[in-house]
Structures are given as C-alpha cells and as structure tokens.
Chain A
Amino acid sequence: MTETFQPRIVGFLCNWCSYAGADGAGIARFQYPPNVTVIRVMCSGRVSPEMVIRAFREGADGVIVLGCHIGDCHYISGNHRTAKRIPMLQNLLGYVGIDPRRLRLDWVSSAEGPKLARVVDEFVAAIRGLGPAGYRALAAVPEGALQGARQHGA
C-alpha cells in the first residue's frame, strides 16, 4: 500500500446526474478507489477553467469533470458548454505546463452508479501511471491566459 502512489484527484460532479450517480454507486455499494474527493456543482457548465487550474495548484494530480449526458441536462443545455469548454481547456493545459491527460470529462447519469465506479477506477489508474503532478508550486496563471478556453467553450 505504502509502495503505491496514491494520487489526489478533485472531481467536479453535477448535482442532478453525476453526483446522484455517485450516491447511487454508494447505495449499491459499488467499491472504487478513494482518491477522488468531490465538489458538488449544480451543473457541469459551472466549472470554469480557473477552478480546474486552481485544483492543480492546490496539489491535485488529476481533475475529473462529470455531467449529465448530452440531451439530459437538468438545465437544458448547460452541459453543451461543458462539452466544448473542457476539451478546449485540455488543449490549452499544455501551454501552462500541465499534462492534458490529467483532466478528464465524462458523462454519468443518475442511474449509472456502475459507470461512475468504472470511470473513477480508470482515471485513478491513469493518473497513477502518470505519477505525481507537482504543480502545487505552479506560478499563478496570468490573467487572460485562459480566456481562449472560456470564449470557445462558452
């Protein structure tokens, strides 16, 4: 146990689908690695590029954003924004020195407890493979550096 690297991962989960899906995984007692700590947001569209960067700066080795499947968003089209914004942010992460593979976006519905467990499993394994991130000392991202991600994603 002590031999293995235990990554710290921040999960941003939308309240209506993915957070409910995580609750569902718990109710069904699906076991998954404890490395993800969850911040509940009302909609995955709430997740701004700064929040993702901040998570890395606070020591996260990976960030995972989970929302409703396209078409099922509780807020009609909030996740359409997520679907554009997060891939755009992945493209830009390299420019600020963060490996884009450390950010993952996926869709988990409230009925998909098993999927949630699988996605977490996969992501923890992937981050473990990448090793510690060490962005805690990352310099503050200059204002405006991430505007592209917001504009294109929004």
Chain B
Amino acid sequence: MMDAGRHPRIELLTMSEVTDVHGYVGNFQATIKSRPRYVDPAKCTACNACTEACPLTAVDEFNAGLCSRKIAYRPFAQAVPNVYAIDKDGIPPCQTACPVEQRAQGYIALIREGLYEDALRVIREDNPFPSVCGRSCHHPCEGRCTRRYVDQPVSIMALKRFVTDHLHDLGWQPEVEPVPQTQEKRVAIIGSGPVGLTAAQDLVRNGYGVTVFEALPVAGGMMRVGIPEHRLPKAILQRDIDHILAQGVDLQLNSPISDPVALREQGYDAVLLATGVSKQTRLGIPGENLEGYLDGVKFLRDVSLEQPVEIGERVVVVGGGITAVDCATTAVRLGAKDVTLLYRRSRGELPVYKEDLTEAENEGVQLRDRTVATAILGDENGRVRGVEAVESKPTGRIDQTGARDLAVVEGTEFTLEADTVIRAVGQFADLSYLAPEYQSLAGDKETLQVTVGSEPALQGIFAHSGEIPGSGFVVNAIALGHQAAENIHCYLQGESLSAPPKTRPPETKWTREEAIAKARQKGIDSKPRVAARALPVSERAETFRETWLTYTEEQARTEAGRCLDCASCCECLRCVWACGPGAIDHRMTEQVREIEVGAVVLATGYELYDAAGIPQYGHGRYPNVLDGLEFERMTNVSGPTGGKILCADGGEPRSIAILHCIGSRDDNHKEYCSRLCCMYALKLAHLAKDFTSAEVYEFYIDLRAAGKGYEEFYRRVQEDGVKFIRGKATEIEPSNGRLLVRAEDTLIGEKIEVPVDMAVLITPMQPSAGAREVGQLVGVSVGKDGFFNELHPKLAPVNTSADGVFLAGCAQGVKDIPDTVAQASAAASKVIGLLAQGEVEIDPVTAHVIDERCSGCGECVLTCPYSAIALADGCAEVNEALCKGCGTCVGACVSHAIDVSHFEDEQLMAELVGMMNRPGELVLV
C-alpha cells in the first residue's frame, strides 16, 4: 500500500470512479470522475486537528459500522494517501436559500454541542449583523429546511438570536482587533445601513482603508430608524455595529454627502452609494396633503430619533408589509387607542410572519383585509378626519407584476373615522441628497441608473443600478453589500467584474420520503419546533421593550437537536480554523478528467454478502450475532473495542460459535463455494482463542483447506482446542440471554443445540456493487454469479473478450490473498506485454460506407454502440479506429449503404445459398 502511494509512476485517484471508456486496445480514453475530498492533499499534514475539531459523527464503515467516526476523518491510520477527507452531501438547502449563504447547519450543530463562541464566529463569517438577523430576518432558510417534511422546520432565526443574546448575557466579548491596512487604496461609503456597513467590513478585511459617511446622527440606516425598538432594540443593533467598527472602519456621523465625485478628488479610490430605500410610496388618492397624514418611514424614523411625533387616538395604517405592522404596533405604544390596518388583499396574502401579525392583534391592532383606501377625508381645518374605503375581491386574473388582479366590490364603500392616517405601502430609493448635476442618474421610480465604468466621469463610483428586488429585507441588503465590496475589490485590483461564477457543490436534496426515512433511521421522533416566548401584552403597551423573548439555553439546545444534518458536513468551519496549513476548502467540486491508457485492468474486488438477508441467524436483530468482518475489527487494537472481543454488554464471551457457509453453497442465496471462508473461519477461531479464554465451536459442512500451508494451519487451530462440529448450523435463537445454535451433527447423526455467548456468521464474498457497470463500459460481461468472465478459464484466465482489458483478483472470482497477488501479477504481465509492443494491429473487420447509396438518414449513427459513425456532408462516415465490426449498423441500414468487411451482405448470402442448395435439390426461382 505504502509503496503504491509513493511510486513515482503510480497516480492515485481516490474517491474516483470510471464513468466512461472509449477507444480500443492500446488506445483507450477513460473518463474519471473524482468526488471532492474538501482537503487539499498537497497541504494536508495528517495532523488530525480537523477530526478533533469536527462536531459531527457518522457511521464508521471501516470498522464495519460498529462505531462512529467524525465527518472530517481519515479511514484508518495507515490510509494511503495519508490525507483526511470530509463527508459532504452537497450544500444544505438552508444555506443555499440564504442570500448571504449563512452556514445555518453549521451554527446549529455548534449550538447543539454548546460551542456558542464558535457558533457566533461562523455566523459572522458571512453575516456582520447576527443580532439583527436573529430578530428581523425574513428567514428564507426555514422555508427550505428539510425538517419541514418531518414536522416543522428548525427555528433557525431564533437559534441565531439565542447565540448572540446568550454570549452577550454571559458578558463574553469577542476579541476584535483592527485589521491592519495593507492596501494603499481607500474607499468611501455613503450610508451606514446594512449595505454600507457590510461592504465596509469586507473591504477593511481585504486591507483597504474605509470611511463610512452617514447623514444622520446615528449609524445603522433603516435597521436603526426603520425597525422600531420593540422589534430591534438599538443597544442590540449597536453590538453588531461596534463589532464592525472595531475592525477598523472609520464612521463619520452627521456627514451628508451630495457630491460623490468630489470624494474621489479627496483621495478615495472608490465610492459606494449605499443610501438604500428610504422614501415612502404615495397612495395616489385624494387627500394626501392633509395634516395628520403621515409617511410611515418618516414616522418610524422620527420615533426612533426621539423627535416629537403627534398621533391621535384613532390611527389607520394603510399597507400590509412589515413596515405597516411596525407602524401600527408603534402607534399602540405611543398611546393610540384604536389602530386599524387596511390591507387590500386577503389576510393570507399579508407578507409578514403569522406570529408577528398575531402579536400585533393581541396588542389591539385590527386588521381589515380585502379593503382598499380610496380617499383621505379632511375636516374644514385641513386635518385628517377619516379614510374612505371599499372592499375588494380578486378578479381571477394575474396582473403585469405577477400579482393577483383586484377589483372593488360595488356598494361596499364605507368611511373609517381617524385622527391619523399612516401610509406604509412600499419604499424606493431617495436620491434627493445628490447634487443637481447627478439627478440625471435617477431613472423611473428614482432608481439609480449607473452602470460601473459607463461614464469616465463616474469611474470608481459604485451603486446598485436599477430596482433592488426585496431590498427591504435586511439579509438581502447584506448580500448586496458583499457583492458591492467584491466588485470594488475587483475594480481596485484591476480585475474583470464579469468573472465566471465560482463553482460550488450542488445543493443537498432530500425528498419528503427520504427525510422521513432518515429521521426514522436516526431515531428522531416527530416533534414540533420550540415556540419562542413573547412578552406579556400587559407589559408591552406604552413601553418599547422587545416583544419576542430569546430562547433559554435548554430550549436552544433542544431546538438545535431537531436539525437533521441533511448535508452530513455542516460547514461549521471549525476544521478550517483548526487546520494549520490551510488545507481545507469547502468549495471544492467534483472533478472530471480524461486519461489516455493502452490497457485497462479490472480489479474491483468483492464485498461481503449481507448476513441480515438470511433471517434465521438473526444478524442485525440479536446483538451478539456478528459477521466475520465485524468480529475481525474487534480483534484490531485500532478497532471499535480497542482490540478486545466483547459482547454487547461489555463482558468477555465464554463461548463463541463460528458458523460456516452462511449464504454460500445455498440455492436460496449464493450457489457457489466462497472458497476461502473455511480458512478465514479458522483464522477467526485462532484469534478468538488468542484474545479470549472462550470455548470456540466451528460448525462446518466440510473443511476445504486446499492451499499451501493451509492443512498445517487447520491442524494448528485444532491444537488450539477449537471444537469442530460437522454440520451446518440451521438457526440461532436467543435463550436466557445467550444464543442457542441449532445444528445436525452429521458425524453422530443427531440434532444438537449449543448455547453460546457470541456467534460469528461466515458469509460469502460477492462482486462489488457497481462492478457490472464498470464492466459494461469496457465490454466485459459477468457470469451468473456476477463475477467478470475471463476469456478462457484455463488458457486465458486474466484476459477478457475485450482486447486490452484484463482481470485481477476477486472481480474475476473468489480467491484468497496469495491467489489474488499471483493473478494480479499475471494481469500486470499481460499489460506490460501489450504496452511493450509499442503498437497494436487493428482488426480490419470494420464497417465501410457505400457513398453513392447513403441517403444520410443517420440511422447507423444512432445504432452504433461505439459512436464510430458520424455524418459528414450528408453522408455517413466510419471512424475505423473506433469501429469494432459488430455490423449492427448494416442490419439497420435501409439503403444497403453500409457493409462490414469479411461479413459483407454478399458473403453471408453466398454462405446461405451454399448451405441450402444441395445438389439435385436446386429449384430455380
């Protein structure tokens, strides 16, 4: 093994499979698909740090499933190559659903393990606002969570919040140090909202000097002045902002900027306009200039900035998003007695989470859905006195924006009395801060129309151009910030902005059935999510204490335990942080490569027949019934029991039965003799005697010890004191905590029952799963037992009917190690013999086209198993190097335009004529 790993002329392609083979003897092209290892073999020093850091475990196949191993692992200490690997089943859907690809499965796993600091660290890798997103994220992750198939999705957002709050409550302070500025260039960012501060952090981490200019006296943008205190306390937002600033971002408050180009002249190499969507859409109905009619965004901002805000006792909020709900619940806290939410669509279409709406209603907010405001009514003083509205219903059509079209219901007009009306029906960019010469940049709906580099005067000025989809969601804004930072980084480094998208592993996809089956397999019962607690309504009115409370530690760990770990590796990044040489890359993808070879050797080996398929022996049901490999692993010091043969209860067995021919020489399972199991069973008996003082029984049909030194070994085991019983064990039954082995002792002709503590089933070897498919790629068939067919059992035991393809080892038939090595060397000598010739003769029996008859229909092209025929200029053309002369194309050609040398139509017809027309019988047509 070691020699193969070190050999300069052997290239190991592990975690790889052959997916296609083309060509012919001496000239094969093979396609090899390699699964990603997520560890760079060139850097890995096999130090085991990743394994120690990994929080997740999987079944250890190497130890026959008897114990578990980490997800970041090395199969065993002497593995070749001596490189770790990570089991990853794609990227979990919670991560792909997230605009910033937050590694949710990762921090959930770490919460489950109580590793809260690392959980927060992995959150911050992709998201500078964990406290904010733990509270007011629209969490698309939860909608895609695999657990939803079992009962309810994991409460991902609440878990994120728990980590931030819990660590804060413990008084834990992350160690943040300013990132040293390593780049000469500096970047100015206008606006300190989620886009601006995310970009600022990313750019600082890339070594740039960054200054953020904020017009308001406080930082945070809409997070600060758009989300009310009772949903996102200012102090908590400040925790995230402080963390960003501590990394070296320079923040200038009270600094409105109207001329971005001037900033360039002041020495900033790039400028990012991150001023967001702060302007409220107007309703476009009469009465929008009345006193007491408020802009929802401005209303929330004034309340946040503790500016005087006057509202009456009766408040109507027009709109249905989270901003509308925020306006309504803020109005309640400001003392409004009667708050109504007017929403033009149905309750179910309201784009807020059910819990938030329920809590608002608990506070007294009344929802009137399917209601459209048609006018704001005023009194003689120009003050709002009410809203005129009408009920709506869907027309059944879909409008241009893809939403359901609405129509008013005639005769349902009514008036709602109100002192204050607040509109909250959508936001767009407010570009009024820009100097007049830049106003031309604003397009419809006042979106920016800047395309980077489009105008020389605007070089280095960055802004999101066009409409920003879903920009009202914090996490989308964070994603935009990352994107902006990356674009600016590319620009400053002089790289193309249209770089190809980065490759990444595919998404983990489980069907509902798979999810339910996996949950059952893991012993997970259906259990709804842990509900978040809300502040009692009585404590909410006229205070701005947070409505939702955080999970307790116990609740959080229970909820985190609901995660199904659907992607295996959770990407908690602990291995990345632990890896000194930086060998781990979670973004590796499957690699496909083509190699050219002159010969192919199939050495696909064997696997053990599954003893669980023979129910009368109870493998998988009775704890102390093992198969040979399981028993073998116990005897290994690096095995699951550290080299002790132990029963399931931990005690040493006093008696062990070894049962031969379980599943072999059996018409119901494998008809063949698996040949080496007799000796293997003897070896296990020897090990049993070596490791324990147990009585050991061998139940055999007959003992086949036909190999050099084998009979001597048999005798040695007899001398060990192993008891041999001639007769196949027929069944195993549990009895008084032990196992009763039933058999017929054919030497004395009696049925016997032997009580033992442990039974080992010796099952046959069978061809590896997938071997048949590999054989088909190279044109080698399998016999009825599934082993590859050799060309001739005696004359050509390692050749196959496919020239240039040879067999070695158990892929061809059951054999022991000495025979395997001998056959492998035989196969090698055939390969060497072929390669040493330097050239091969290509059989001239190939197809050829009779051009003048070919109509170019392409039927032969479709028929050819080797893709050896192509159409050129409307005529078929045979690649003789690929053609193997089967003649299937000839059988398919309607126009007799293709024929195969030496098996030509004429020749075969002549044969027919010759054999059928006996002299004297000839009848002329």
Which residues in A have some Cβ–Cβ distance to B below 8 Å? 8, 10, 16, 37, 39, 41-43, 45-48, 50-51, 54-55, 57-60, 68, 71-78, 81-82, 85, 110-111, 136-137, 140, 147, 150-151, 153-154
CA of A126 to CA of B245, assembled, Å: 93
CA of A137 to CA of B923, assembled, Å: 8
CA of A73 to CA of B916, assembled, Å: 29
**Do B892 and A81 have beta carbons less than 8 Å apart?**
yes
C-beta contact mask, B847-865 vs A, less than 8 Å → 1, else 0? 0000000000001001101
Rounded to whole Å, the gap between the CB of A138 and the closest CB of chain B is: 8
Q: Could you say which residues of chain B place their CB within 8 Å of the CB of A71? A: 772, 776, 781
**Do A46 and B909 have beta carbons less than 8 Å apart?**
no
Interface centre among B865, B884, B921 (most CB of A within 10 A): B865
In this assembly, does B886 line the interface, its C-beta being within 8 Å of a C-beta of chain A? yes
**Do A81 and B913 have beta carbons less than 8 Å apart?**
no
**Do A136 and B925 have beta carbons less than 8 Å apart?**
yes
For the complex of A and B, list the 3 residue pairs with the smallest distance between their C-beta atoms, beginning with the closest.
Answer: A154-B892, A46-B887, A45-B888
Known: A41-B903, A43-B887, A58-B913. 11 other contacts (CB 8 A): A46-B891, A48-B890, A60-B916, A74-B802, A75-B884, A85-B891, A137-B925, A150-B891, A153-B891, A154-B891, A154-B892
**Do B892 and A10 have beta carbons less than 8 Å apart?**
no
**Do A78 and B888 have beta carbons less than 8 Å apart?**
yes
CA of A57 to CA of B909, assembled, Å: 11
**Do A111 and B784 have beta carbons less than 8 Å apart?**
yes
CA of A72 to CA of B714, assembled, Å: 41
**Do B888 and A68 have beta carbons less than 8 Å apart?**
no
Nearest chain A residue, comparing its CB with the CB of B857? A151
In this assembly, does B818 line the interface, its C-beta being within 8 Å of a C-beta of chain A? no
Contact of A58 among B789, B890, B917 (CB under 8 A): B917
Rounded to whole Å, the gap between the CB of B849 and the closest CB of chain A is: 16
C-beta contact mask, B829-860 vs A, less than 8 Å → 1, else 0? 00000000000000001000000000000010
**Do A76 and B900 have beta carbons less than 8 Å apart?**
no
Interface centre among A71, A78, A85, A136 (most CB of B within 10 A): A78
**Do B845 and A42 have beta carbons less than 8 Å apart?**
yes
**Do B925 and A57 have beta carbons less than 8 Å apart?**
yes
**Do A59 and B894 have beta carbons less than 8 Å apart?**
no
Q: Could you say which residues of chain B place their CB within 8 Å of the CB of A48? A: 890-893, 905
Contact of B801 among A16, A59, A136, A151 (CB under 8 A): A16
CA of A27 to CA of B863, assembled, Å: 35
Nearest chain B residue, comparing its CB with the CB of A137? B925
**Do A78 and B912 have beta carbons less than 8 Å apart?**
no
In this assembly, does B911 line the interface, its C-beta being within 8 Å of a C-beta of chain A? yes
**Do A81 and B911 have beta carbons less than 8 Å apart?**
no
Rounded to whole Å, the gap between the CB of B797 and the closest CB of chain A is: 15
**Do A76 and B865 have beta carbons less than 8 Å apart?**
yes
**Do B863 and A81 have beta carbons less than 8 Å apart?**
yes
* Cβ < 8 Å to A, chain B residues 766-789: 772, 776, 779, 781-784, 789
**Do A54 and B909 have beta carbons less than 8 Å apart?**
yes
Interface centre among B789, B863, B891, B905 (most CB of A within 10 A): B891
In this assembly, does B915 line the interface, its C-beta being within 8 Å of a C-beta of chain A? yes
Q: List 19 A-B contacts (CB under 8 A).
A: A41-B908, A42-B900, A45-B886, A46-B903, A51-B905, A51-B909, A57-B925, A71-B772, A71-B776, A73-B781, A74-B779, A78-B865, A81-B888, A140-B925, A151-B894, A153-B892, A154-B862, A154-B863, A154-B892
Q: Could you say which residues of chain B place their CB within 8 Å of the CB of A10? A: 912, 915-916
Rounded to whole Å, the gap between the CB of B251 and the closest CB of chain A is: 68
Interface centre among B779, B862, B888, B905 (most CB of A within 10 A): B888
In this assembly, does B433 line the interface, its C-beta being within 8 Å of a C-beta of chain A? no
In this assembly, does B866 line the interface, its C-beta being within 8 Å of a C-beta of chain A? yes
**Do A55 and B912 have beta carbons less than 8 Å apart?**
yes
Q: Could you say which residues of chain A place their CB within 8 Å of the CB of B900? A: 42, 46
**Do B781 and A41 have beta carbons less than 8 Å apart?**
no
CA of A71 to CA of B786, assembled, Å: 12
**Do B894 and A147 have beta carbons less than 8 Å apart?**
yes
Q: Could you say which residues of chain B place their CB within 8 Å of the CB of A42? A: 845, 885-887, 900, 903
**Do A76 and B908 have beta carbons less than 8 Å apart?**
no
**Do A150 and B909 have beta carbons less than 8 Å apart?**
no
Contact of B923 among A45, A55, A78, A136 (CB under 8 A): A136
Q: Could you say which residues of chain A place their CB within 8 Å of the CB of B911? A: 39
CA of A99 to CA of B923, assembled, Å: 21
Rounded to whole Å, the gap between the CB of B812 and the closest CB of chain A is: 15
Nearest chain A residue, comparing its CB with the CB of B782? A72
Rounded to whole Å, the gap between the CB of B770 and the closest CB of chain A is: 14
Nearest chain B residue, comparing its CB with the CB of A20? B801
Q: Could you say which residues of chain B place their CB within 8 Å of the CB of A58? A: 912-913, 916-917
**Do B781 and A68 have beta carbons less than 8 Å apart?**
yes
CA of A108 to CA of B894, assembled, Å: 28
Q: Could you say which residues of chain A place their CB within 8 Å of the CB of B894? A: 147, 150-151
CA of A55 to CA of B802, assembled, Å: 31
Q: Could you say which residues of chain B place their CB within 8 Å of the CB of A85? A: 891-892
**Do A77 and B862 have beta carbons less than 8 Å apart?**
no
Q: Could you say which residues of chain A place their CB within 8 Å of the CB of B801? A: 16, 74
CA of A93 to CA of B784, assembled, Å: 35
Q: Could you say which residues of chain B place their CB within 8 Å of the CB of A153? A: 891-892
Q: Could you say which residues of chain A place their CB within 8 Å of the CB of B789? A: 110
**Do B890 and A46 have beta carbons less than 8 Å apart?**
yes
**Do B784 and A75 have beta carbons less than 8 Å apart?**
no
Nearest chain B residue, comparing its CB with the CB of A59? B916
Q: Could you say which residues of chain B place their CB within 8 Å of the CB of A78? A: 865, 886, 888
CA of A54 to CA of B907, assembled, Å: 13
Nearest chain A residue, comparing its CB with the CB of B893? A150
Known contacts: A42-B885, A78-B865, A136-B925. The answer to whether A47 contacts B891 by CB under 8 A is yes
Nearest chain A residue, comparing its CB with the CB of B778? A76
**Do B916 and A151 have beta carbons less than 8 Å apart?**
no
Interface centre among B863, B884, B894, B905 (most CB of A within 10 A): B894
Known contacts: A60-B916, A137-B923. The answer to whether A41 contacts B887 by CB under 8 A is yes
